[in-house]
Amino acid sequence: MGDTDDGERSLARRDASPLATGDPYERQYMKGEGLVLYRAKQRTPWPMNALIGALALSSVIPAVLGLPGAWITAVTMLPVLFVVWALFAVLRVTVSEGNVNVQYGLFGPTIPMAAIESVTPTEYKWTTFGGWGIRRGPGGIWLYNMPGDGGRAVRIEWRDGKGRRRVTLIGSPNHVELAETISKARLALPGAAPAPALSEGQRALDDGE
Could you give phi then psi for residue 201, rounded to 5 degrees? Answer: -65, -40
Query: What is residue 99's predicted lDDT score, i.e. its pLDDT?
Result: 92
Q: Which helix (H) or strand (E) holds 15?
A: none
Per-residue pLDDT at 104: 86
Backbone angles phi, psi at 194, to 5 degrees: -75, 160
Q: What is the DSSP letter of 199?
A: P
Q: 205 to each of 137, 153, 160, 199, how far by Cα in Å?
A: 15, 20, 12, 10
Spatial distance between the Cα atoms of 88 and 133, rounded to a whole number of angstroms: 7
In eight-state DSSP terms, residue 189 is S
Of 140, 128, 114, residue with least CA distance to 33: 114
* CA–CA distance, 91 with 75 (Å, rounded to integer): 28
CA distance 150 to 83: 27
Give the pLDDT of the chain (209 residues) as one tens digit per residue.
Answer: 444 444 333 444 343 344 445 677 777 667 767 788 898 888 776 556 666 667 677 777 776 777 777 777 777 777 776 766 666 678 999 999 999 999 887 788 999 999 999 999 999 998 899 888 889 998 899 999 988 899 999 999 999 988 899 999 999 999 999 999 999 999 888 753 444 444 444 443 444 44
Of residues 46, 56, 15, the one with CA closest to residue 32: 15
pLDDT score of 78: 73
